[in-house]
Chains A and B, each alone.
Chain A
C-alpha cells in the first residue's frame, strides 16, 4: 500500500477544502458554504482505487501560515511530495500576493521535491460570465506560466474549475490518473473491450469518487469483417423466439393480471439471448472468463467456431442483411462526435445521483439509459470501479429485434469482463 503525498495549497478561502470535500467526502456543492476556514495543515488520507492512499495536506492559506511553510516547516511540508495542487481564486482581491506565494511554493518544491507533478487550478470560474471565461482563463494561464518559468518550472498543468459544474471533475480526474501506476495497460485492455462489445465508447470510473480513470473509443471503419453474417442469422433466431412470445402475449390479453404467467412470460433480454443462440454460446462464454492472460478475452470471442453464430455476432452492431437495406442512412455516419466534456459531465451526473441514492438509504448498482439513438450501460464493474458502455443504435430501418439481444450481449460482456479486468486495475 503506497501513500502518495499531495499538497493542496492556495490562498485562504480559495476553495481547497470545498473541492476536497466534494470529490472525496461526498459533499454537495452547496454544503461547502458551511465549511470553516482551514487552520494550519490538515492531513487527510483518502483511499483511491482500493489501495492507493492519497495523503492530502490541506494547507490553510492565511498569510501567517505561509511564513511558517516557507521558514520553520519548509522541509516537513515540501519534502517527498508527489504532487502539488495550487489553487487560485479567480476573484482574488490581491492577485500579486497570490503570485508571490505561488512562486515561493514552487521554489520550495523544486528544492525539496524536484520530481513532483504540478497542477494549478484557477478556481471559482462560475463567478465569471460564461462568455468571458475562456479569455480570462487564458490570461490567467499566461501569468501562471510566467511565474513558473521564472523559477524554472517547465512542466505543469492548468485547469479552470468550479465546484458548481463538471470542470471540477475534469481537473481532479487528470490529477488522480497521474498517481495511478501503469494506467496504459488498463487503457489498452479497455480499448479491446470496447471493440469486442462493439461499443462506441467505454469509460471506467473510480468507484467512490466517480472520477474517470480511463476510457476508450471505437475506431470506426475497422469492423468491416465477416461478423455481420452471424448477426443476420442471429436476428433470424430472435424472430423465432418472438413467435413464442406471440403466443404468450395472446395468453396475457384476456386477464393481464399475469402473476401466474411469470414463468412463461420470460422474454427479458437474457432469455431472448438464450433462446436464439443457445448451444454454442454457453461454451464460448466460459472460454473467455477462464482465460487468464491479456489476450484471452479477445481471441476467443473474436474467432468463434465457423458454423456457430458466435459472440462477435451478438455484439456487432449491424447485420449484413439489415445493412443492405439501411445503408443509405447508416453507412455515411461515422462515430458521432460527442461533447468534448462528456467524461467529466458523466462523472458529475452520476456522482450526484449516487448521493441522491445515499440520501434515500440506498446505493445504485447499475443502470441503463436509452433513447432511439443509443443505450448507455453504467454498472458496478470491478471491486473499485464502475464501467460505462455506450452503444449507439445504428438500426434506422425499424428493425428493433436486435436491440434486446444487443443489450443482453453487452450486459453479458460486462459481467464476463469483470474478473478479467480485476487484474488490470492498477494497484500500488
Chain B
C-alpha cells in the first residue's frame, strides 16, 4: 500500500536520515532491523539504492518515525546542491518529490530529528568519507542545531575485527579524524556538535543496540517511561526491565540501572522465540476475529485474582497513582504532575481504541506472554503492554514467586502507557 508522506500525520513524525557512501550498509541496516531480513541475505538480495527510499515505522504507539534511506552517491549531491535536483523519486513518493523539488536541500535537515551516518569500517582509508561527513554535519547542524548526529562505524565484523580492541581502535581513529575535520571547518569546541558513535554490524546484536539508542532519543516521553520502569523494578524486586518494540526488537526504554548488553540480547532473542512460536501455533482459526480486540480491554489475564482486579478500574487507577507516586524521587516533580494528569485520562476510551490496527492478524496479541527459566536462577518474563510493545524483565526466580503482584503492577504500567500513548496521539493530531 502506498504511503502518503505528505499526509500531515506522517510528515509530522520524527525523521531519521540514513546517509553514507555507497555500499556502506545503510539499506542492509534498514532491512535487517525493520524487515527481518537475515544478514547473509543482504549479500545477494540487495541492489544499490537508486532513489531515496522512505519508510514509516509505526508498530507501537509510543515509537513512531520515518526512515529516509539515501542512495550512497546521491546524498552528497543532494546535500551540496541547492538547485532543483530531483531529490526524491520512486513510485509512491512521486507526489512528495514535487513538493521537495524546489526547496533548498537543507530543508531535509531542518525537519530531520536524527542523522545516522554509516561508515564502512572495512573500507579504509576513511579520509574522503569523513571529509564528506563533516561537510554534511556542518550543513545539517547549521540548518537544524537540534539534529542528533549518530555515526555508525559499521561492518565491525569478520577477520579484521575479531577482537574488541580492534573495534575500539577503529572508533577512536574515526572520532579523532572527525574532530580534526570539524575544527578545520570552524567548529572549535567538541561540544559544538555533539556526535554519538556506535560500533555496529548486522551480523550481531550491535546494530539493534545502536538503533535502539537512536530511537530512544526520539521519544519525548522517555523520562516518564524510565521512571515508570524504575518504579516497577523496585516494586517487584526485578533486576532489569525493558520496553521492546517487538516488531523491530528495538528497546525504547529501560530502567536506569546499567544496561548489560548480554541481557538485552537475551531479551531480544526471547522476542524472536515468542513471535516465531506464536506465529506457528497462535494464529489458529479458533479465536473469533474480534477476540484480540476484546481481550485487549482486559489488561490483566489469567490467574485467579487478576481477573477481579481487571474488573475494578477504580482500584487499578488508584494503583497507578500508587505505582507512580509512592516511590517518587522528589527531584522528579514534573513527572509526578504529568502522571497525575495522565492517570486521570485513563478511562474506557483509552482502552477501547486498543489494537484494531493489525491486532487480529498478528500472533502477538494482548494476551501474549512468556516465561523462560534459566539455569542461573534467573527468569525472563515477557508481557504485552501495548500494541506490539512488550515489557521484558529479568528477575531472580525467588522474586518471581509472587507472580500475581508482578502481573498486577505490570497491569498498572500498561494503563499508564496507554494513557501516555493517547496523550502522544493527541499532541500529534
A: residues with CB less than 8 A from B are: 29-30, 127, 164, 200-201, 238, 241-242, 245-246, 248-250, 252-259, 261-262, 265-269, 272, 329-330, 333, 336-339, 342, 345-346, 349-350, 352-353, 356-357, 359-374, 376, 390, 392-394, 396, 398, 400-401, 403-404
From A249, A339, A370, contact of B305 by CB (8 A): A249
Closest 3 CB pairs of A and B: A245-B305, A336-B284, A404-B303
Which residues of A have CB within 8 Å of B323? 256
Contact assessment for B39 and A370 in the assembled complex, using a CB-CB cutoff below 8 Å: no
Using CB atoms, name the residue of chain B closest to A350: B273
Rounded to whole Å, the gap between the CB of A343 and the closest CB of chain B is 10
Check B408–A252 contact: CB distance below 8 A.
yes
- Which residues of the other chain, B, contact A333 by a CB distance below 8 angstroms? 284-286
Query: With an 8 A cutoff between CB atoms, is B235 at the interface?
Result: yes
A360 contacts B235, C-beta separation under 8 Å: no
B221 at the A interface (CB under 8 A): no
Q: Which of B255-274 contact A (CB under 8 A)?
A: 262-263, 265-266, 269-270, 272-274
B304/A253 in contact, CB under 8 A: no
Distance, CA A29 to CA B405, complexed state (A)? 41
Judging by beta carbons under 8 Å apart, are A345 and B280 in contact? yes
- Beyond the given pairs A363-B374, A371-B367, A400-B301, 8 more chain A to chain B contacts, judged by CB atoms under 8 angstroms and listed by A's residue number, are A252-B405, A268-B403, A345-B280, A362-B375, A367-B373, A373-B283, A390-B281, A401-B307
- Total cross-chain contacts (CB, 8 A): 206
| Closest B residue, CB atoms, query A330 | B286
Q: Tell me the minimal C-beta distance from A107 to chain B in angstroms.
A: 37
A403 to B319, CA, bound (A): 25
Contact of A394 among B263, B286, B370 (CB under 8 A): B286
Q: Tally chain B residues at the interface, Cβ within 8 Å.
A: 70
Chain A contacts for B280, CB-based, 8 A = 338-339, 342, 345-346
Tell me whether A362 and B408 are in contact (CB under 8 A). no
Does B294 contact A367, Cβ atoms closer than 8 Å?
no
Nearest chain A residue, comparing its CB with the CB of B280 = A342
By the criterion CB–CB under 8 Å, are B322 and A338 in contact? Answer: no
Contact among A242, A255, A339, A392 for B304, CB-based, below 8 A: A242
Are the C-beta atoms of B322 and A367 separated by less than 8 Å?
Answer: no
Residues of B close to A339: CB separation below 8 A: 280
Shortest CB-to-CB span from B230 to chain A, Å, is 14
Cβ proximity bits B268-311 to A, threshold 8 Å, 1 near / 0 not: 01101110111011111111100110110010011111011100
How many angstroms from the CA of A338 to the CA of B363 in the assembled complex? 13
Cβ of A368 and Cβ of B371 under 8 Å apart?
yes
Q: Does B166 contact A (CB under 8 A)?
A: no
Closest chain-A Cβ to B209's Cβ sits at a distance in Å of: 14
* Cross-chain contact A245 with B402 (CB below 8 angstroms): no
Docked CA distance A31–B301 (Å): 42
Flag if B285 contacts A259 (CB, 8 Å): no
Among A242, A336, A357, A394, contact of B266 (Cβ-Cβ < 8 Å): A357
Q: What residues on A are CB-neighbors of B295 within 8 Å?
A: 372
Is B126 an interface residue, CB under 8 A from the partner?
A: no
Once the chains are docked, how many angstroms separate the CA of A241 from the CA of B288?
A: 29
Given the known A-B contacts A245-B305, A371-B367, are A392 and B376 also in contact in the complex, defined by CB atoms under 8 Å? no
CB <8 Å contact, A272 and B304: yes
Distance in Å: Cβ of B14 to nearest Cβ of chain A: 30
The yes or no answer to B131 lying at the interface (CB within 8 A) is no
B281 (CB) vs chain A CBs: closest residue:
A374
What residue in chain B is nearest A272 (Cβ atoms)? B304
- Contact call A268/B364, Cβ cutoff below 8 A: no
Q: Please list 25 pairs of residues, one from A and one from B, whose beta carbons are closer than 8 Å in the complex, sorted by A's number.
A: A242-B305, A245-B304, A246-B305, A256-B326, A258-B236, A261-B402, A261-B405, A268-B303, A272-B304, A336-B286, A337-B285, A338-B281, A353-B269, A359-B262, A360-B265, A366-B373, A367-B273, A370-B369, A371-B367, A371-B368, A371-B369, A373-B281, A373-B365, A376-B281, A396-B286
A256 interface neighbour in B237, B281, B322, Cβ under 8 Å: B322
B146 interface residue (CB < 8 Å to A): no
B374→A365 contact, CB < 8 A: yes
A365 / chain B contacts, CB cutoff of 8 Å = 373-375
Is B38 an interface residue when CB atoms closer than 8 A count as contact? Answer: yes
Q: Once bound together, how far apart are the Cα atoms of A61 and B404, in whole Å?
A: 59
Complexed CA–CA distance, A18 and B38 (Å): 18
Contacting A at CB under 8 A, from B6-45, are 38-40, 44
Say yes or no: A267-B404 contact (C-beta < 8 A), given A30-B203, A369-B274, A371-B278: yes
Q: Which residues of A contact B286 (CB under 8 A)?
A: 330, 333, 336, 373, 392-394, 396
